[in-house]
Chain A
Amino acid sequence: MDLRTTGAPPDARERQAVDSVLGPPESGWAGGERTPGDGRAAAGGLARARRRRQVLLPALHALQDRVGWISLPALGYLCQRLDLAPAEAYGVASAYALFSFEPGPPVVVHVCDDVACRAACGGDPAAVLAARVGPAGSGATLTWQPSPCLGHCEHGSAALVLETGEPGARMTLAPFAAGDIERIRSLGGSLGGALDPDVLPAPRAIVPQAAGEGLRILRRVGRIDPASIDAYRAAGGYEALRRALQLGPAGVIGELKESKLLGRGGAAFPTGTKWEAVARNPARPHYFVANADESEPGTFKDRVLIDHDPYAVVEALTVAGLTTGAEQGFVYVRGEYPLAVARLEHAAAEARSRGLLGEDVMGSGLRFDLEVRRGAGAYIAGEETALFNSIEGRRPEPRNKPPYPVDRGLFDKPTGVNNVETLLSVLEVLTVGGGAYARLGTPESTGTRLFCLSGRVVRPGLYELEMGTTLRALLTMGGGVAGGRPLRAVLLGGAAGSFVGPDELDLPLSFEGVRAAGATLGSGVVVVLDDTVDVADIVRRVARFFRDESCGQCVPCRVGTQRQEEALGRLAAGRPLGSLDAELALLSDLDAVMRDASICGLGQTASSLVASALRRGLLSPAHGGPGAGPVADGRSAI
């Protein structure tokens, strides 16, 4: 392409960052030393540019990680290497929260101020932190900024620490306290060595259920060394793959159909049917994607699974690939999960070295391998078609459907995509058999389901329950409301979910059970809100979340989420435009247009929680108030 990039050359660090992903330039045309041969021949073309574009996101990460920001010359060099227009690359990069376009301090601490931590801390963690260490965005060597949910809700508070440089550092602190900022500062400059668990320990897994209490998907979590493939195999790992190879693709699909397993990602689509559609599609190649872009506020289950049972993800994706005829798989992990990325990459490398990935998987003669991709701070990238765009190096904008991914997904080819919990459920189906799996749970919602219990509850953590278990049973397992206070509501399903009142605790947690109650299981979020929690504040935080995370593509969501946040702000301030009824009519109209006319699920559900709160009368100022304090001793209140 006849690109025009800025003439200014990148500096050495920028060049090295890009080359660390792309290798050295292959010719003078790509930014290398000019040779006489360059004057006589050059390769190029659209097909080549298309192949390269998928490296865009990893290369942007390399620049952000090593240099701390993406400058115009760096962008120009990267684009020259990829044969991509700088404006396009900027359009992509600027859609992600984790990329900067101006230099900043080497250490940035992203502090969660989202619903679960807000409930657990009894107020806005960012406000507390600002009062303790100064406003967000200040500081020459270290700064902090508020962040949407970091997926460590069971700890009650969390921060993602990112340090620029080579090697640099990326780690999560959970629980997180204001004092941690001082500790990081005192480490002075390089955190590279500070991954020392004694100084800044990695978050531990919290699975409160005991081993005997029906754990299936979670049975290895916290109980084996997540870095050891031998430990994984000793605990039954790779038996499901062996079984899948015995059964062959048709057999696996048969078991899945018999199991009646429905996808855990939100749409509850029959997994067997999806895999079959990909497997049967005559177009080639096929791809399979594990969606680990877990970003729904209040959700941490996929992160726990990857952090603590990474080989299971690798094995499950291998089963999926071999069953659907895909030779290439991707695990798309949200950018805020550095440990998950490291553990998965380690697991994949080990599996490869043992012949469990690669040219001849487990001696079957079949080929499958996977690549781990990091997101960069975009909730919308968890929408499956936006995720494909993200992998392809395009803006993470959802695509119009149809066509569906099984026909035209990643790189426009037939693609299977499941979230991590679904994939691990497949392993369970193969372990116990489809029929036996189908007998778990309810007839319509078979098997077990993970629930992310957080907020003002005694034992927050990740729970695995048979489908159909009541909400009350879950809360009981969690020890009930912290401090024995009255329950005001449970936020069920996530930011795109709904509120469930104390009068509805006998709600069976199954797809059909919650559907009948007008709710959704969503991603298994259960945030407990007691009478001290300002529910209106929670709702406004969710409205802000959708306003921040909308991709901006379609009008209903782009402008609607802005207008929704504005309207809630007016209600909170007690300054309605016109009458209160007029405001409620406006919110109802916004709900209608976003639900009916948005392109994707984000927009279509961006008003769900607001509508639910309005239905339950939870937005009146009488409900809750700030300053309730932390839920339990020893837990950080920032």
Chain B
Amino acid sequence: MTTIAPVAFRRTVELTIDGRAVTAREGATVLEACRAAGVEIPTLCYLETLTPVNVCRVCVVEVEGGRALVPACSRPVAAGMVVRTDSDRVRTSRRMVLELLASSVDLSTAAGDVHRWIGEYGARPERHGPSAPAAPTRPHAGHHAEPEVGSAATVVQPVKRDNNLYVRDYAKCILCYKCVEACGEDAQNTFAIAVAGRGFDAHISTELDVALPESACVYCGNCIGVCPTGALMFVTEHDLRATGDWDEDRQAVTRTVCPYCGVGCNLEVHVQDDRIVKVTSPLDHDVTSGNLCVKGRFGFAYVEASG
């Protein structure tokens, strides 16, 4: 019996992060090197299981010799690289990225880190003015109506609730591309959604914005699993939040194995008041990398039905 799989020989490079000499694996990203060195880099569109798209730009750092700042999440380390993660330029850009998002997106259910960073970097979304009302129609690429003087445009749009399993509230969407990647090449390969339109009007959409039941969606919910802002949510969570009954302090998360086919997907079962309110899968388990199918993620009603 052979027990060892091939492991590539790993080389390392030396670089400097905030004045400290650091050794990193060759091919590692600046983000990985920073994390290994205990330097916090905020990220929004980055996820270990997805290909970096480096679009949110909140992870930018200053690399000596470069004109613009570089995204830590996707820039590979290089020997002799001198990285600064806390310069004025870096702080200004991060503050502004957070400010621009907070002024245009409803971040009320975003991960706690986002709110901490907004405070730490001193983002002031309110200085762009009060939120403008929703536009009646989405502009065609290359055209848009003159902005209302004095208000700040947002990505607000009506909540999409077109199926029984999950809710899409794109007013909370920061366009991190994670759901598109999870639905597409990085995991599910169903391609039910994509980024459509462009510029400020870019948005996540099915083909011609048809409802999910008319789309290619197979309800794996892997998009929910990666959404950092709660724009995509289980119906159970959405409804409990709506009535003010969602309480993570009262929830226990238990790891078990999916009851269906023989692949052995790990489930994280979130239970509140003896009720399953959500199912996720661990990102760091190499059977699923956080992904499930519709049965594994949503097919738990029978547990309650049996009672």
Contact of A593 among B92, B143, B153, B208 (CB under 8 A): B92
CA distance A377 to B141 in the complex (A): 9
Interface residues on A, range: 35 or more
Chain B 209-232, CB-CB to A under 8 Å as 1, else 0, gives: 010001110000000000000000
Given A88-B194, A559-B103, are A75 and B199 neighbors across the interface (CB < 8 Å)? no
Given A96-B141, A97-B141, A589-B96, are A559 and B205 neighbors across the interface (CB < 8 Å)? no
**Contact between B60 and A596, CB atoms less than 8 A apart:** yes
Determine if A517 is an interface residue (Cβ-Cβ < 8 Å). Answer: no
Contact of A400 among B74, B142, B174, B198 (CB under 8 A): B74
Determine if B193 is an interface residue (Cβ-Cβ < 8 Å). Answer: yes
Segment of A358-366, A477-485, A571-579 engaged in the interface with chain B: A571-579
Determine if A598 is an interface residue (Cβ-Cβ < 8 Å). Answer: yes
**Contact between B92 and A592, CB atoms less than 8 A apart:** yes
**Contact between B68 and A551, CB atoms less than 8 A apart:** no
CB distance from A293 to the nearest CB of B (A): 14
CA distance A99 to B99 in the complex (A): 33
Determine if B201 is an interface residue (Cβ-Cβ < 8 Å). Answer: yes
**Contact between A88 and B104, CB atoms less than 8 A apart:** no
**Contact between A377 and B196, CB atoms less than 8 A apart:** no
**Contact between B97 and A90, CB atoms less than 8 A apart:** no
**Contact between B215 and A87, CB atoms less than 8 A apart:** yes
CA distance A483 to B191 in the complex (A): 59
**Contact between B104 and A569, CB atoms less than 8 A apart:** no
**Contact between B149 and A549, CB atoms less than 8 A apart:** no
Chain B 76-98, CB-CB to A under 8 Å as 1, else 0, gives: 00000000000001001101110
CB distance from A608 to the nearest CB of B (A): 13
Q: Which of B54, B129, B142, B184 has the most CB of A within 10 A?
A: B142
CB distance from A228 to the nearest CB of B (A): 36
B193 — nearest CB in chain A belongs to which residue?
A: A87
**Contact between B147 and A566, CB atoms less than 8 A apart:** yes
Contact of B60 among A547, A569, A590, A597 (CB under 8 A): A597
Determine if B12 is an interface residue (Cβ-Cβ < 8 Å). Answer: no
A-B contact count (CB 8 A): 210
**Contact between B100 and A596, CB atoms less than 8 A apart:** no
A86 — nearest CB in chain B belongs to which residue?
A: B207
Given A91-B194, A547-B200, A552-B202, are A566 and B129 neighbors across the interface (CB < 8 Å)? yes
Determine if B118 is an interface residue (Cβ-Cβ < 8 Å). Answer: no
Determine if B163 is an interface residue (Cβ-Cβ < 8 Å). Answer: no
**A548 CB contacts on chain B under 8 angstroms:** 141-144, 199
Determine if B288 is an interface residue (Cβ-Cβ < 8 Å). Answer: no
Segment of A1-9, A17-25, A324-332, A508-516 engaged in the interface with chain B: A1-9
Chain A 531-573, CB-CB to B under 8 Å as 1, else 0, gives: 0000000000000100111111111101111110110011001
CB distance from B68 to the nearest CB of A (A): 6
CA distance A90 to B128 in the complex (A): 32
**B143 CB contacts on chain A under 8 angstroms:** 97, 145-146, 548
**A577 CB contacts on chain B under 8 angstroms:** 127-129, 150
**Contact between A90 and B202, CB atoms less than 8 A apart:** no
CB distance from B79 to the nearest CB of A (A): 15
CB distance from B54 to the nearest CB of A (A): 5
Given A548-B142, A582-B127, are A558 and B202 neighbors across the interface (CB < 8 Å)? yes
**Contact between B199 and A549, CB atoms less than 8 A apart:** yes
**A92 CB contacts on chain B under 8 angstroms:** 194
Chain B 47-73, CB-CB to A under 8 Å as 1, else 0, gives: 000000111111010000000110100
CB distance from A90 to the nearest CB of B (A): 4
CA distance A148 to B93 in the complex (A): 29
Interface residues on B, range: 35 or more
A6 — nearest CB in chain B belongs to which residue?
A: B214
**Contact between B207 and A90, CB atoms less than 8 A apart:** yes
**Contact between B208 and A575, CB atoms less than 8 A apart:** no
Determine if A604 is an interface residue (Cβ-Cβ < 8 Å). Answer: yes
Determine if A220 is an interface residue (Cβ-Cβ < 8 Å). Answer: no
**Contact between B199 and A551, CB atoms less than 8 A apart:** yes
**Contact between B101 and A596, CB atoms less than 8 A apart:** no
Determine if A42 is an interface residue (Cβ-Cβ < 8 Å). Answer: no
**A490 CB contacts on chain B under 8 angstroms:** none
Tell me the chain B residues, 129-186 only, with Cβ under 8 Å from chain A: 129, 140-144, 146-147, 149-153, 174-175, 184
**B147 CB contacts on chain A under 8 angstroms:** 562, 565-566, 569
**Contact between A552 and B197, CB atoms less than 8 A apart:** yes
Tell me the chain A residues, 578-609 only, with Cβ under 8 Å from chain B: 578, 582, 586, 589-590, 592-593, 595-599, 604
A400 — nearest CB in chain B belongs to which residue?
A: B54
Chain A 75-104, CB-CB to B under 8 Å as 1, else 0, gives: 100000000011111111011110111000
Determine if B195 is an interface residue (Cβ-Cβ < 8 Å). Answer: yes
Determine if B206 is an interface residue (Cβ-Cβ < 8 Å). Answer: yes
Tell me the chain A residues, 414-465 only, with Cβ under 8 Å from chain B: none
CA distance A556 to B190 in the complex (A): 30
**B215 CB contacts on chain A under 8 angstroms:** 4, 87
**Contact between A87 and B194, CB atoms less than 8 A apart:** yes
**Contact between B153 and A72, CB atoms less than 8 A apart:** no
Q: Which of B93, B153, B215 has the most CB of A within 10 A?
A: B93
Determine if B256 is an interface residue (Cβ-Cβ < 8 Å). Answer: no
**Contact between B216 and A4, CB atoms less than 8 A apart:** yes
**B207 CB contacts on chain A under 8 angstroms:** 6, 72, 75, 85-87, 89-90
**Contact between A569 and B198, CB atoms less than 8 A apart:** no
**Contact between A597 and B202, CB atoms less than 8 A apart:** no
CA distance A87 to B58 in the complex (A): 28
CB distance from A477 to the nearest CB of B (A): 34
A568 — nearest CB in chain B belongs to which residue?
A: B147
**Contact between A94 and B197, CB atoms less than 8 A apart:** yes
B74 — nearest CB in chain A belongs to which residue?
A: A400
CB distance from B189 to the nearest CB of A (A): 7
A577 — nearest CB in chain B belongs to which residue?
A: B129
**Contact between A563 and B152, CB atoms less than 8 A apart:** yes
**Contact between B104 and A562, CB atoms less than 8 A apart:** yes
**B193 CB contacts on chain A under 8 angstroms:** 87
**B153 CB contacts on chain A under 8 angstroms:** 562, 566
**Contact between B150 and A556, CB atoms less than 8 A apart:** no
Q: List 12 A-B contacts (CB under 8 A).
A: A72-B210, A85-B191, A87-B207, A88-B194, A91-B194, A91-B195, A378-B142, A548-B144, A560-B100, A566-B147, A597-B57, A599-B54
By Cβ-Cβ distance, the 5 closest A-B pairs, closest first, are A552-B202, A97-B142, A91-B194, A85-B191, A593-B96
Q: Which residues of A contact B (CB under 8 A)?
A: 1, 3-4, 6, 72, 75, 85-92, 94-97, 99-101, 145-146, 148, 377-378, 380, 395, 400, 544, 547-556, 558-563, 565-566, 569-570, 573, 575, 577-578, 582, 586, 589-590, 592-593, 595-599, 604
